[in-house]
C-alpha cells in the first residue's frame, strides 16, 4: 500500500515541478506611456530631478522604468543601439539629459552600446554597486539619477573606460535629422 502511495505522490509532483518555472517574457512588456507624456523630459532644462519612483512610474514607458528606476539590464545584443554607428547625440530617455556623442561610441562587441567618455563631467554620476556577487561601478544620469549601466576599465584610448549602457534608457538624435 505504501508503495502505491509513493507512486501516486511522484505522479502528482513530477509534472508540477516541471511547471514551476515562470513563463514571463520580457518582450511582452508594452510601452504604455510615450515620451510626449513625460513632463520632466527636456533637452534644455538641466535642473536636477528628485522624483519618487511612484511619480516616475506615471510618466515613463514600462521598459524605460524597469531599467532606469529598477536598475534592470536589457539582454545583450537586443538593444537598438548596441551596433549602431549613426552620427548624433545620445540623451537620457527618462529626462532628456545630454549624455554622450557618437564620436565617443565604439564597437565593443559586448552586446550593449559602449562609449569611452560622457559628454561632460556632470552629465553622469557614479555609484558603487556590490550586487550579483560583483563589485562594479554603476553609472546614473546626472540629472534624474536614473540607472544607465556600468563603467569598466577595459575601454579604448584616450580614456580606457567603457561606459556599458542600456539602449532602452538612451534616446538617440541623429545629426542628419537636424539638417
Query: What is the set of active-site residues?
Result: 164
Q: C-alpha distances in angstroms, 9 versus 2, 16, 20, 21, 65?
A: 10, 11, 17, 20, 44
Name which position in 144, 151, 164, 165 contacts Fe ion (CB under 5 A). Answer: 144
Which stretch in 22-30, 114-122, 135-143, 159-167 sits in contact with Fe ion by CB under 5 A? Answer: 135-143
In terms of Cβ atoms closer than 10 Å to its own Cβ (0-12, 13-18, 19+), residue 54 is exposed
Smaller CB separation from Fe ion, 40 or 152? 40
The rounded distance, in Å, linking the Cα atoms of 18 and 170 is 38
What SS3 class is residue 68? helix
**Cα–Cα distance, 50 to 66 (Å, whole number):** 18
Task: Check residue 95 for interaction with Fe ion (CB under 5 A).
Answer: yes
149 part of the interface to Fe ion, by CB under 5 A? no
End-to-end CA distance of the chain: 83
Is residue 139 close enough to count as binding Fe ion by CB under 5 A?
A: no
Question: Interface with Fe ion includes 170 (CB under 5 A)?
Answer: no
By beta-carbon proximity to Fe ion, the closer residue of 38 and 97 is 97
Q: Which one of the spans 14-22, 38-46, 75-83, 140-148 is the region binding Fe ion (CB under 5 A)?
A: 140-148
Pair type for strands 136-141 and 114-115 = unpaired
Stretch near Fe ion under the rule CB under 5 A, chosen from 23-31, 56-64, 87-95, 155-163: 87-95
For the bound state, the minimum distance from the C-beta of residue 110 to Fe ion, rounded and expressed in Å, comes to: 22
What residue ranges bind Fe ion (CB under 5 A)? Answer: 92, 94-95, 97, 141, 143-144, 146
Amino acid at each position: 500500500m505504501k508503495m502505491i502511495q509513493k507512486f501516486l505522490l511522484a505522479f502528482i509532483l513530477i509534472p508540477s515541478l516541471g511547471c514551476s518555472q515562470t513563463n514571463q517574457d520580457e518582450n511582452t512588456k508594452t510601452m504604455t506611456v510615450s515620451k510626449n507624456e513625460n513632463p520632466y523630459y527636456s533637452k534644455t532644462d538641466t535642473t536636477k530631478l528628485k522624483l519618487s519612483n511612484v511619480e516616475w512610474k506615471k510618466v515613463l514607458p514600462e521598459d524605460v522604468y524597469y531599467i532606469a528606476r529598477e536598475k534592470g539590464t536589457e539582454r545583450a545584443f537586443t538593444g537598438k543601439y548596441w551596433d549602431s554607428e549613426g552620427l548624433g547625440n545620445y540623451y537620457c530617455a527618462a529626462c532628456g539629459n545630454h549624455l554622450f556623442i557618437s564620436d565617443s561610441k565604439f564597437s565593443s562587441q559586448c552586446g550593449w552600446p559602449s562609449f569611452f567618455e560622457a559628454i561632460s563631467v556632470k552629465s553622469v554620476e557614479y555609484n558603487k554597486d556590490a550586487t550579483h556577487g560583483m563589485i562594479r561601478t554603476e553609472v546614473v544620469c546626472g540629472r534624474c539619477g536614473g540607472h544607465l549601466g556600468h563603467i569598466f576599465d577595459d575601454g579604448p584610448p584616450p580614456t580606457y573606460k567603457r561606459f556599458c549602457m542600456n539602449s532602452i534608457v538612451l534616446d538617440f538624435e541623429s545629426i542628419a535629422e537636424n539638417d
